[in-house]
Amino acid sequence: PEGDDGDDGDNDDDDEGGEDMKSGCHGKRDGGDGEGDDDGDDDDKEPPRRHAHHLVKAHATAGTVKVKVTEAEEGWMDKLKRKHNVEQIPGILVVRSGTGGGNIHTTIDLIKDRQLSLRSESFGGEVYSLISDKFLGSFKVNTLFGTADVIELKGSPSTIDYSKNQKNAKVGRKIIVRDGDDDDGDDDNSVLGDIVLNSPLSRATLEFF
Protein backbone atom coordinates (compact mmCIF):
# COMPACT_ATOMS: atom_id res chain seq x y z
CA PRO A 1 0.00 0.00 0.00
CA GLU A 2 1.16 3.53 -0.79
CA GLY A 3 2.62 5.38 2.16
CA ASP A 4 2.80 2.35 4.46
CA ASP A 5 6.44 1.72 5.27
CA GLY A 6 5.71 -0.30 8.40
CA ASP A 7 6.82 2.46 10.82
CA ASP A 8 4.35 3.09 13.64
CA GLY A 9 6.27 6.06 14.98
CA ASP A 10 7.33 4.55 18.31
CA ASN A 11 11.01 4.17 17.35
CA ASP A 12 11.01 0.45 17.99
CA ASP A 13 11.17 -2.53 15.70
CA ASP A 14 7.80 -4.00 14.83
CA ASP A 15 9.20 -7.44 14.11
CA GLU A 16 11.21 -9.80 16.24
CA GLY A 17 14.91 -9.71 15.57
CA GLY A 18 15.17 -5.94 15.16
CA GLU A 19 14.58 -5.91 11.43
CA ASP A 20 13.97 -2.70 9.56
CA MET A 21 11.92 -3.29 6.43
CA LYS A 22 11.83 0.12 4.78
CA SER A 23 11.88 -0.16 1.04
CA GLY A 24 11.58 3.53 0.22
CA CYS A 25 11.11 2.58 -3.40
CA HIS A 26 7.47 3.39 -4.19
CA GLY A 27 7.64 5.09 -7.55
CA LYS A 28 11.40 5.29 -7.39
CA ARG A 29 12.98 5.12 -10.78
CA ASP A 30 16.48 5.24 -12.11
CA GLY A 31 17.74 5.54 -15.61
CA GLY A 32 20.12 7.79 -17.45
CA ASP A 33 23.28 9.25 -15.99
CA GLY A 34 21.87 12.68 -15.22
CA GLU A 35 24.35 14.34 -17.60
CA GLY A 36 23.66 15.23 -21.17
CA ASP A 37 20.22 13.60 -21.14
CA ASP A 38 18.63 16.46 -23.06
CA ASP A 39 20.23 15.57 -26.34
CA GLY A 40 17.17 14.68 -28.37
CA ASP A 41 18.03 10.99 -28.47
CA ASP A 42 15.07 9.77 -26.39
CA ASP A 43 14.60 6.75 -28.60
CA ASP A 44 18.06 5.50 -27.67
CA LYS A 45 17.58 5.80 -23.91
CA GLU A 46 17.06 2.82 -21.70
CA PRO A 47 13.60 2.86 -20.06
CA PRO A 48 13.52 3.89 -16.38
CA ARG A 49 13.69 0.97 -13.96
CA ARG A 50 11.25 0.62 -11.08
CA HIS A 51 11.25 -1.97 -8.30
CA ALA A 52 7.93 -3.62 -7.46
CA HIS A 53 7.65 -4.02 -3.68
CA HIS A 54 4.64 -5.60 -1.95
CA LEU A 55 3.47 -5.77 1.67
CA VAL A 56 0.87 -8.31 2.87
CA LYS A 57 -0.47 -8.36 6.44
CA ALA A 58 -2.98 -10.88 7.83
CA HIS A 59 -3.77 -11.20 11.53
CA ALA A 60 -6.47 -12.76 13.70
CA THR A 61 -7.11 -12.76 17.44
CA ALA A 62 -7.81 -16.48 17.70
CA GLY A 63 -9.02 -17.66 14.31
CA THR A 64 -7.41 -19.29 11.30
CA VAL A 65 -5.33 -17.25 8.87
CA LYS A 66 -4.85 -18.26 5.22
CA VAL A 67 -2.55 -16.34 2.90
CA LYS A 68 -1.95 -17.14 -0.78
CA VAL A 69 0.33 -15.00 -2.93
CA THR A 70 0.91 -15.73 -6.62
CA GLU A 71 2.83 -13.78 -9.22
CA ALA A 72 1.09 -12.12 -12.16
CA GLU A 73 0.85 -13.81 -15.54
CA GLU A 74 4.05 -14.51 -17.40
CA GLY A 75 5.27 -11.67 -19.54
CA TRP A 76 3.70 -8.89 -17.45
CA MET A 77 7.04 -7.09 -17.14
CA ASP A 78 7.47 -7.09 -20.92
CA LYS A 79 3.94 -5.75 -21.40
CA LEU A 80 4.60 -2.93 -18.93
CA LYS A 81 7.81 -2.03 -20.72
CA ARG A 82 6.07 -1.88 -24.10
CA LYS A 83 3.02 0.04 -22.89
CA HIS A 84 4.54 2.53 -20.46
CA ASN A 85 8.24 2.45 -21.35
CA VAL A 86 9.05 1.43 -17.77
CA GLU A 87 11.12 -1.58 -16.84
CA GLN A 88 9.65 -3.30 -13.77
CA ILE A 89 12.14 -5.14 -11.54
CA PRO A 90 11.05 -7.77 -8.99
CA GLY A 91 11.52 -6.23 -5.55
CA ILE A 92 10.79 -7.32 -1.99
CA LEU A 93 7.70 -9.27 -0.97
CA VAL A 94 7.01 -8.79 2.75
CA VAL A 95 4.41 -11.07 4.36
CA ARG A 96 3.41 -10.78 8.02
CA SER A 97 0.78 -13.07 9.58
CA GLY A 98 -0.16 -13.98 13.12
CA THR A 99 -2.89 -15.38 15.34
CA GLY A 100 -3.30 -16.19 19.00
CA GLY A 101 -4.72 -19.68 18.83
CA GLY A 102 -5.65 -20.64 15.28
CA ASN A 103 -3.68 -22.18 12.45
CA ILE A 104 -1.79 -20.26 9.76
CA HIS A 105 -1.51 -21.64 6.24
CA THR A 106 0.64 -19.68 3.79
CA THR A 107 1.30 -20.39 0.10
CA ILE A 108 3.73 -18.15 -1.78
CA ASP A 109 4.83 -18.43 -5.39
CA LEU A 110 7.88 -16.48 -6.53
CA ILE A 111 9.44 -15.38 -9.77
CA LYS A 112 13.18 -15.24 -10.27
CA ASP A 113 14.88 -12.40 -8.37
CA ARG A 114 11.92 -11.81 -6.05
CA GLN A 115 13.15 -11.35 -2.47
CA LEU A 116 10.87 -12.78 0.23
CA SER A 117 10.66 -11.74 3.86
CA LEU A 118 8.13 -13.90 5.73
CA ARG A 119 7.13 -13.83 9.41
CA SER A 120 4.39 -16.17 10.58
CA GLU A 121 3.51 -16.93 14.20
CA SER A 122 0.69 -18.68 16.06
CA PHE A 123 0.94 -19.09 19.81
CA GLY A 124 -1.27 -22.15 20.08
CA GLY A 125 -1.95 -23.27 16.52
CA GLU A 126 -0.06 -24.90 13.68
CA VAL A 127 2.02 -22.84 11.26
CA TYR A 128 2.46 -24.25 7.75
CA SER A 129 4.17 -22.43 4.88
CA LEU A 130 4.40 -23.73 1.31
CA ILE A 131 7.06 -21.67 -0.45
CA SER A 132 8.39 -21.61 -4.01
CA ASP A 133 11.70 -23.41 -4.41
CA LYS A 134 13.02 -20.23 -6.05
CA PHE A 135 13.44 -18.87 -2.52
CA LEU A 136 17.03 -18.39 -1.45
CA GLY A 137 18.11 -17.14 1.96
CA SER A 138 17.91 -17.94 5.65
CA PHE A 139 15.11 -19.59 7.61
CA LYS A 140 14.15 -20.30 11.22
CA VAL A 141 11.41 -22.78 12.05
CA ASN A 142 10.81 -22.83 15.81
CA THR A 143 8.60 -24.41 18.45
CA LEU A 144 8.94 -24.90 22.20
CA PHE A 145 6.96 -28.06 22.82
CA GLY A 146 5.96 -29.07 19.29
CA THR A 147 7.71 -30.25 16.14
CA ALA A 148 9.60 -28.24 13.53
CA ASP A 149 9.88 -29.59 9.97
CA VAL A 150 11.57 -28.46 6.76
CA ILE A 151 10.54 -30.39 3.64
CA GLU A 152 12.88 -29.98 0.68
CA LEU A 153 11.86 -30.29 -2.97
CA LYS A 154 13.31 -33.39 -4.59
CA GLY A 155 15.66 -32.50 -7.42
CA SER A 156 16.02 -28.89 -6.32
CA PRO A 157 19.11 -27.09 -7.65
CA SER A 158 19.56 -25.45 -4.26
CA THR A 159 21.28 -26.75 -1.14
CA ILE A 160 20.15 -26.40 2.46
CA ASP A 161 22.85 -25.91 5.08
CA TYR A 162 21.60 -26.38 8.65
CA SER A 163 23.15 -24.60 11.62
CA LYS A 164 20.55 -26.17 13.92
CA ASN A 165 18.63 -29.34 13.14
CA GLN A 166 16.62 -30.43 16.17
CA LYS A 167 13.13 -31.80 16.67
CA ASN A 168 11.77 -28.45 17.82
CA ALA A 169 14.02 -26.10 15.82
CA LYS A 170 15.35 -25.95 12.27
CA VAL A 171 17.71 -23.10 11.41
CA GLY A 172 19.67 -22.83 8.20
CA ARG A 173 20.15 -21.25 4.80
CA LYS A 174 19.06 -22.23 1.31
CA ILE A 175 21.53 -21.40 -1.47
CA ILE A 176 22.65 -22.59 -4.87
CA VAL A 177 26.21 -23.91 -4.89
CA ARG A 178 27.83 -23.38 -8.27
CA ASP A 179 31.05 -25.36 -7.95
CA GLY A 180 30.73 -27.58 -4.90
CA ASP A 181 32.42 -25.09 -2.56
CA ASP A 182 29.88 -23.10 -0.57
CA ASP A 183 32.46 -20.87 1.12
CA ASP A 184 34.29 -19.30 -1.81
CA GLY A 185 31.78 -16.54 -2.59
CA ASP A 186 30.87 -18.05 -5.96
CA ASP A 187 27.35 -19.06 -4.97
CA ASP A 188 24.02 -17.63 -6.06
CA ASN A 189 23.59 -15.30 -3.11
CA SER A 190 22.58 -12.15 -4.96
CA VAL A 191 18.92 -12.34 -3.88
CA LEU A 192 18.58 -13.53 -0.31
CA GLY A 193 15.40 -13.48 1.74
CA ASP A 194 14.43 -14.65 5.19
CA ILE A 195 11.69 -16.83 6.67
CA VAL A 196 10.73 -17.11 10.35
CA LEU A 197 7.98 -19.51 11.46
CA ASN A 198 7.09 -19.78 15.12
CA SER A 199 4.56 -22.01 16.89
CA PRO A 200 5.47 -22.43 20.57
CA LEU A 201 2.80 -24.99 21.43
CA SER A 202 2.15 -26.78 18.14
CA ARG A 203 3.83 -27.73 14.85
CA ALA A 204 5.75 -25.45 12.48
CA THR A 205 6.41 -26.66 8.93
CA LEU A 206 8.27 -25.10 6.01
CA GLU A 207 7.84 -26.91 2.69
CA PHE A 208 9.30 -26.00 -0.70
CA PHE A 209 7.54 -26.77 -3.98
> How many other CB atoms are found less than 10 A from the CB of residue 143?
23
| Tens digits of residue pLDDT in 44-87 | 566 677 778 999 999 999 999 999 999 876 666 677 677 767 77
Give me the pLDDT at residue 73, please: 65
> How many other CB atoms are found less than 10 A from the CB of residue 87?
17
Whole-prediction pTM value? 0.71
Question: Exposed/middle/buried for 174, CB within 10 Å: 0-12, 13-18, 19+?
Answer: buried
Is-contact 208 133, C-beta < 8 A?
yes
Residue that wins the pLDDT comparison between 42 and 111: 111
Domain ranges of the chain: 54-208
Give me the pLDDT at residue 149, please: 98
